[in-house]
Structure 1
Amino acid sequence: MNEFIAPAASWSAAVIETIGVGTITVFALYSLFNAAARMLRKEDSDSIFQELRQLLGRGILLGLEFLIASDIIYTVAVELTFETIGVLAIVVLIRTFLSFTLEVEMSGKWPWQNNRLRDS
């Protein structure tokens, strides 16, 4: 059974990883082209910079989610050892830290602060 699951999981992980990298790339290019177009229209440079950072941050966050998913699929279905689980834990920890810091950078508050503000 594993002889069928491992190749399918490996292929799935590669596809999802490609989607993650593609997402980051597309958002980065779109953000740059959008900022360049707005600069040519002589819009306020501070608002251009803020929107550029917002769009780029969202793209990176979304891409990181896909990359984490591909790492989990590959590790669990293809290479399940204590060493690969340890490496996966470290990678997920680093990417989760990056996600949190990007969220704080973009919104100016921790993700759980939004719920408290809405409930009040």
Structure 2
Amino acid sequence: MQTKQIIEHIGGLLDLAGVLAIAVGVAIAAIVFVYRYWQTRQLVEVYRQFRQGVGRAVLLGLELLVGGDIIRTVAVSPTFHSVGVLALIVLVRTFLSFSLEVELDGHWPWQAKKRSTMGTTTAASRDNPGS
């Protein structure tokens, strides 16, 4: 078997893994959604968790799909056209990744995570109890 064929197969396997990650992740998130809703009957909270589960599955799947594209493009057919198409795919994936990150975490990836202040005492409130 030639090196190009091996690389094509590896790229194809990564594509398959990406599709399976999305499909299985969405299926698991749906099953968990139905189970949690049946247990709690709290649609808003369960739906939020469902969206997070689907978002994580899509992010993982996109990472694997882009990995397959990179392997095939760079190793098998590194033409200017194929590298340009790959650049567009990576650009779209990056935009989707940032959008999903904001959707899942509620902040941009470079921002500090929001902390819950319920039940915690800060140094300022200990030093100045009247505030």
- TM-score if structure 1 supplies the norm length? 0.89
Do residues 77 (structure 1) and 81 (structure 2) align?
A: no
Which residue in 1 is equivalent to 2:91? 93
Gaps of 5+ in 2: 116-131
Query: Matches of 2:3 and 2:82 in 1, distance apart?
Result: 18
Shift of 1:114: 3.2
Shift of 1:84: 0.2
- TM-score if structure 2 supplies the norm length? 0.82
8 Å Cα contact 1:103/1:109 also seen in 2 = yes
Which residue in 1 is equivalent to 2:50? 52
Shift of 1:94: 0.4
Which residue in 2 is equivalent to 1:27? 25
Aligned AA for 2:49?
E
Query: Matches of 2:83 and 2:66 in 1, distance apart?
Result: 13
- Misfit runs of 4+, over 3 Å: none
Shift of 1:28: 0.2
Identical aligned residues as a percent: 39
Query: Matches of 2:32 and 2:23 in 1, distance apart?
Result: 14
Query: Matches of 1:6 and 1:35 in 2, distance apart?
Result: 43
Which of these two proteins has the greater Rg computed from alpha carbons?
2
Which residue in 2 is equivalent to 1:36? 34
Tell me the C-alpha RMSD between the 2 structures: 1.5
Aligned AA for 1:98?
L
Do residues 109 (structure 1) and 101 (structure 2) align?
A: no
The answer to which structure has the higher helix fraction is 1
Query: Matches of 2:37 and 2:14 in 1, distance apart?
Result: 34
Higher relative contact order (CA 8 A, sep 6+): 1
